[in-house]
Chains A and B, each alone.
Chain A
Amino acid sequence: MPKRRPRSSSRAKQRPAARRTRRGSASWLRWAVSRTLVLSLVSFLAYVVYLDITIRNRFEGERWPVPAHVYTRPLELYQGLRLDRTRLVGELDELGYRRRDRAEQTGSYALGKDRVDVYARPFVFWDTPRAAQRFTVSFEAGRVRGLAGRGGQLGLVRLEPRLFGSVSPARHEDRHLVSLDRVPKHLIAALLAVEDRQFFQHHGIDPRGLARALWANLTAGEVVQGGSTVTQQLVKNFYLNAERTVRRKLVEMLMATLLEIHYEKREILEAYVNEVYLGQAGHRAIHGFGLGSVFYFGRPLAELNLPETAMLVGLVKGPSHYHPRRHPQRARQRRDLVLAQMLELGLIDESAAQRATRATLGVAEAGAQPATAYPAFLDFVRLQLRRDYRERDLRAEGLRVFTTLDPLVQQVAETAVRTRLAALERARQLAPGQLEAAAVVVRRDSGEVVALVGGRQPGFAGFNRALDARRPVGSLIKPAVYLAALEQPRRFTLATLLEDTPLRVEQRGSPAWTPSNYDRRFHGPTPLIHALARSYNVATARLGLEVGVDRVIGVLRRLGVDRELQPLPSLLLGAVDMAPVEVAQLYLTLAGNGFRTPLRSISSVLSQAEQPLARYPLSVEQVVEPGPMALLDYALQEVVRTGTGRTLTRRLNGGVPVSGKTGTTDDFRDSWFAGYAGDYLTVVWVGRDDNQPTGLSGAAGAMTIWTEIMDRLDLQASATPRPADIEQVLIDLETGGLADTGCRDAVLLPFIAGSAPSRPAPCAAAPAASKVRGRLRNWIKRLFDRP
Chain B
Amino acid sequence: MTRCLIPLLVLAMFTGCATGPRAPTLERGGPPVIDRSQPPPAAVPRVDGRTPPPTAPESSPGAKRRLPAGVESPPPPVSVLAKPAVINLARAADQASAEGRYATAASSLERALRIEPHNASLWHKLARVRYQQAQYDQAVQLASKANTLTRQSLLRTANWQLIADAYDRLGDEGKARAARAQALDR
Binding site for B on A (CB under 8 A): 38, 41-42, 45-46, 48-49, 52, 56, 59-63, 66, 76, 78-81, 126-128, 153, 155-156, 177, 261-264, 267, 388-390, 393-394, 397-399, 443-446, 448, 593-595, 605, 607-609, 612-622, 626, 679, 716, 718-721, 723
Q: Smallest distance from the beta carbon of B152 to chain A beta carbons, Å?
A: 9
Given contacts A63-B26, A262-B17, A619-B141, are A720 and B149 in contact (CB under 8 A)? yes
B108, A155: Cβ atoms closer than 8 Å: no
Q: A78-B83, A128-B104, A156-B89 are in contact. List 15 more A-B contacts (CB 8 A).
A: A49-B9, A61-B25, A79-B83, A153-B84, A262-B17, A267-B21, A389-B31, A397-B26, A448-B114, A595-B144, A612-B33, A618-B113, A620-B141, A626-B148, A716-B117
Query: Does B69 make an interface contact (CB < 8 A)?
Result: no
Closest partner residue, chain A, to B36 (CB atom): A616
CB–CB A617/B33 < 8 A? no
Q: Work out how many contacts link A and B, with CB atoms closer than 8 A.
A: 166
- Complex Cα gap A464–B13 (Å): 55
On whether the beta carbons of A595 and B141 are closer than 8 Å, the reply is yes
Given the interface pairs A52-B13, A128-B104, A619-B138, the reply to whether A723 lies near B148 with Cβ below 8 Å is yes
B1-32: CB near A (< 8 Å → 1, else 0) gives 01001100110111011000110111110111
Q: What's the Cα separation between A31 and B82 when bound, in Å?
A: 95
With a CB–CB cut-off of 8 A, which chain A residues contact B88? 155-156
A-B contact pairs, 6 of them (CB 8 A): A41-B6, A45-B10, A62-B28, A261-B14, A595-B141, A721-B151
Q: A605 to chain B: which residues have CB within 8 Å?
A: 34
Q: What are the residues of chain B within 8 A of A63 when measuring CB–CB?
A: 24, 26
Please, how many angstroms separate the alpha-carbon atoms of A337 and B111 in the complex? 50
Point out the residues of chain A lying under 8 angstroms from B32, CB to CB.
388-389, 613
In the complex, which residue of chain B has the Cβ closest to the Cβ of A51?
Answer: B13
Tell me which residues from 93 to 115 in chain B have a Cβ below 8 Å from any Cβ of chain A: 103-104, 106-108, 110-111, 113-115
A127 and B118 contacting across the interface, CB-CB below 8 Å: no
What chain A residues lie within 8 Å of B2 (beta carbons)?
38, 42
Contacts of B126 in A (CB 8 A): 618
CA distance A648 to B107 in the complex (A): 37
Residues of A within 8 A of B115 (CB): 76, 78, 81, 156
Alpha-carbon distance A398/B144, docked complex (angstroms): 40
- Interface positions, chain B 135-174, Cβ under 8 Å from A, are 138, 141-142, 144-145, 148-151
Does B118 lie within 8 Å of A48, measured CB to CB? Answer: no
B181 at the interface (CB under 8 A from A): no
Shortest beta-carbon distance from A506 to chain B in Å: 43
Given contacts A62-B26, A155-B88, A614-B33, contact A126 B107 (CB under 8 A): yes
Q: Which among A42, A618, A719 has the greatest number of chain B C-beta atoms within 10 A? A: A618
Q: What residues of A have a CB within 8 angstroms of the CB of B150 in the complex?
A: 721
- Going nearest first, the 4 A-B pairs with the smallest beta carbon separation are A155-B88, A78-B85, A393-B31, A614-B34
Interfacial chain A residues near B35, Cβ < 8 Å? 614-615
CB-defined contacts of B108 to chain A, threshold 8 Å: 127
- Known contacts A78-B115, A615-B35, A720-B118; decide if A622 and B141 are in contact (CB<8 Å): yes
By the criterion CB–CB under 8 Å, are A446 and B36 in contact?
no
CB-nearest residue of chain A to B133: A617
Query: Which of A264, A267, A614 is in CB contact (< 8 Å) with B36?
Result: A614
B56 CB–A CB distance under 8 Å: no
Residues of B within 8 A of A716 (CB): 116-118
A617 and B151 CA atoms in complex are apart in Å by: 26
Q: How far is the CB of B155 from chain A (nearest CB, A)?
A: 11
B-chain residues with CB within 8 Å of residue A59 when the two chains form the complex:
24
Query: What is the CA–CA distance of A78 and B85 in the complex, to the nearest angstrom?
Result: 6
Per the bound structure, the CA–CA distance linking A264 and B22 in Å amounts to: 10
A608 partner, pick from B26, B84, B114, B117, beta carbons under 8 A: B26
Q: Which residues of chain B are within 8 angstroms of A445 by Cβ–Cβ distance?
A: 113, 117-118
Question: Could you say which residues of chain A place their CB within 8 Å of the CB of B5?
Answer: 38, 42
Given contact pairs A45-B10, A156-B88, A445-B113, A397 touches B141 in the complex (Cβ within 8 A): no
Alpha-carbon separation in the docked complex, A613 to B145 (Å): 28
List chain A residues, Cβ under 8 A from B9.
42, 45-46, 48-49
CA distance A390 to B14 in the complex (A): 37
Q: Does B87 contact A (CB under 8 A)?
A: yes
Q: A49-B9, A445-B113 are in contact. Are A613 and B31 (CB under 8 A)?
A: yes
* Minimum CB–CB distance for B71 against chain A, Å: 19
Q: How far is the CA of A613 from the CA of B103 in the complex (A)?
A: 13
Whether B110 lies near A719 (C-beta < 8 A) is no
Given the interface contacts A41-B6, A127-B104, A723-B148, does A60 sit within 8 Å of B22 by beta carbon? yes
Measured between beta carbons, the chain B residues less than 8 angstroms from A264 are 21
CA distance A719 to B34 in the complex (A): 36
When distances are taken between beta carbons in the complex, the residues of chain B under 8 Å from A390 are 31
Q: Find out whether the CB atom of A617 lies under 8 angstroms from the CB atom of B21.
A: no
Q: Which of B12, B33, B117 has the most CB of A within 10 A?
A: B117
CB of B60 within 8 Å of the partner chain: no
B116 to chain A, nearest CB (A): 8
Interface string of B61-105 (1 = CB under 8 A from A): 000000000000000000000011101110000000000000110
**A397 with B148, Cβ < 8 A, contacts A446-B117, A616-B36, A718-B118 known:** no
- Residues of chain A within 8 A of B14, CB atoms compared: 261
**Which residues of the partner chain B approach A45 to less than 8 Å between Cβ atoms?**
6, 9-10, 13
Nearest neighbor of A608 in chain B, beta-carbon distance: B26
Chain A residues lying within 8 Å of B114, measured Cβ to Cβ, are 76, 443, 446, 448
Question: For A388, what are the chain B residues with a Cβ–Cβ distance below 8 Å?
Answer: 32, 34
Chain B min CB distance to A242 (Å): 24
User: Which residue of chain A lies nearest to B21 when distances are taken between CB atoms in the complex?
Assistant: A263
What distance in Å separates the Cβ of A740 from its nearest Cβ neighbour in chain B?
28
B21 touches A262 (CB 8 A): yes
| Contact between chains at B142 and A79 (CB < 8 Å) | no
In the complex, which residue of chain B has the Cβ closest to the Cβ of A448? B114
